[in-house]
Amino acid sequence: MPRSIEEFVTAWDALSGECGQEGGWLGIVVTSVGACELMAARRFPGNEEALLARFPTARLGAAERLPEGRGFEVVRADPRRDGKTWIALSRKESGSPELFSEMVSDVVGAMDASVGEGEAAVQRTMLRRVRMWQQFMSRGATPLSPEAELGLVGELTIMAILMDSGVSTEEVLRGWVGPDDALQDFLLGDGALEVKATMSSSGFPVKITSLEQLDDSVASPLFLAAVRFACEEGGLTLPEMIGEVEKRLGEDPGAVNYLRDKLIVAGYAETQSRHYTRRFESKEIRILSVSEGFPRLTPGTVPVGVTRALYEINLDHVGDYLMDLDAALNLLGVNG
């Protein structure tokens, strides 16, 4: 869970009128995460907000490449000249103060979740989470579009169903490659599973966004998991759906952190959860085998010169390819 940002904001405000040495830091200790001390600080001469994390024993390799993204940077620091490892996450002059505050809240919350694994794990978590934000900001750092929100709800719905079917949480999470812009959403066993979601009440249309998405020469066997949703009061919001998946991960903080990292890459920041108010109720789920005869466009079936395609398939017309999930998992070689 994100950490409350109020103490950091109060400290940053208190430091805003101070004058520091050029190239130096002024900071106030706000809290700690295990043995790691956290300071709200400002870097001079620019007076930008920063989070300073002090690690008493965990070291940072000299060759470690630190993340840098739109509106923020990460540098080594030594404000007390005590020889300990200090990592500074600071806002660039061009960065949004509000978005930087959200980032600090999220990063510190992730560090909190890993405190039981030791100081070195907390340090790794800090840098890993910042790298996730680096990817998030490269996509614009704005809330998901309604279409992207629906797509993510669909992937999480199938994720929960896979776990409930007996597929190990590790295999499901490691196989979820949709956020990484992979051709299919899940790589499982010997093949892949592509997820599509629709809100249509007429027919069962799904949108295919590339020639490779339903190409079983890329991944075989290949299955399409399609979910029809309706917006109803009994449904779940996107944040609630994430909560349902996290419940299935039990008391495994590593798995929860991995899921949250992938969600950031997918464009979902927990600090923006208030923007997601639509409720989705799953009405129908279909699993289809994408095999010979299935209606689709692939690089091998379109005329020479066609390199991209966006098209729809009405799944009401492909009933011959329906199968149950257990059979699909068996063909994938996954233990369900």
pLDDT in tens, 9-62: 999 999 886 665 556 888 999 999 999 999 999 988 888 899 999 999 988 887
- Predicted confidence at residue 239, as pLDDT, reads 96
220 within some domain: yes
Q: Is the pLDDT of residue 304 over 60?
A: yes
Which of 41, 93, 92 minimizes the C-alpha distance to 67? 92
Of residues 97 and 208, the one with the higher pLDDT is: 208
- Select from 121, 138, 155 the last residue of a domain: 138
Segment 147-186, tens digit of pLDDT: 999 999 999 999 999 999 999 999 999 999 999 888 999 9
1 within some domain: no
Q: Is 32 helix (H, G, I), strand (E, B) or coil?
A: strand
What is the residue whose two structure tokens read 């109060």?
10
Domain match, 158 and 300 both: yes
Number of Cβ within a 10 Å radius of residue 52: 23
Quote the domain boundaries for residue 14: 6-138
Q: Is 72 exposed, middle or buried (0-12, 13-18, 19+ CB in 10 A)?
A: buried
- CB-based contacts of 28, cutoff 8 Å, min separation 6: 11, 14, 15, 39, 40, 41
47 within some domain: yes
Domain match, 115 and 161 both: no
- Predicted confidence at residue 139, as pLDDT, reads 73
Number of domains present in the structure of the chain: 2
Let me know: does 131 contact 69? Beta carbons within 8 Å.
Answer: no
Domain match, 158 and 303 both: yes
Handedness of CA 325, 329, 330, 331 (dihedral sign): positive
Residue 137's pLDDT band (cuts 50, 70, 90) = confident
Which of 149, 148, 173 minimizes the C-alpha distance to 257? 173
Angle at 334 between CA 329 and CA 336, to 5 degrees: 70
Domain match, 129 and 196 both: no
- Predicted confidence at residue 181, as pLDDT, reads 83
Domain match, 126 and 187 both: no
The pTM score is 0.79
Domain match, 163 and 305 both: yes
- Predicted confidence at residue 2, as pLDDT, reads 65
- Predicted confidence at residue 20, as pLDDT, reads 57
Across all residues in the chain, what is the average pLDDT? 90
Cα torsion at 307, 313, 317, 318 (round to 10°)? 60
- Predicted confidence at residue 1, as pLDDT, reads 63
Pairwise CA distance, residues 196 & 224, whole Å: 7
- Select from 106, 138, 170 the last residue of a domain: 138
For the segment 86-97, the average pLDDT, to the nearest whole number, is 90
Domain match, 188 and 297 both: yes
> Phi/psi at 55 (nearest 5 deg)?
-110, 110
319 within some domain: yes
- Select from 84, 105, 138 the last residue of a domain: 138
14 within some domain: yes
Q: What is the DSSP string of 287-299?
A: EEE--TT-----T
Tokens of 45: 């001469």
Domain match, 169 and 219 both: yes
Q: Is 67 helix (H, G, I), strand (E, B) or coil?
A: coil
- Predicted confidence at residue 37, as pLDDT, reads 94
Domain match, 188 and 299 both: yes
Of residues 167 and 138, the one with the higher pLDDT is: 167
Domain match, 108 and 192 both: no
Let me know: does 13 contact 47? Beta carbons within 8 Å.
Answer: no
Pairwise CA distance, residues 122 & 124, whole Å: 5
Which of 134, 21, 130, 141 minimizes the C-alpha distance to 81? 21
Instruction: Give the CA distances from residue 275 to residues 110, 146, 181, 245, 269, in Å, rounded to whole numbers and listed in that order.
Output: 21, 11, 23, 20, 10
89 within some domain: yes
Domain match, 10 and 134 both: yes
- Predicted confidence at residue 218, as pLDDT, reads 86
20 within some domain: yes
- Predicted confidence at residue 204, as pLDDT, reads 94
Domain match, 159 and 264 both: yes
39 within some domain: yes
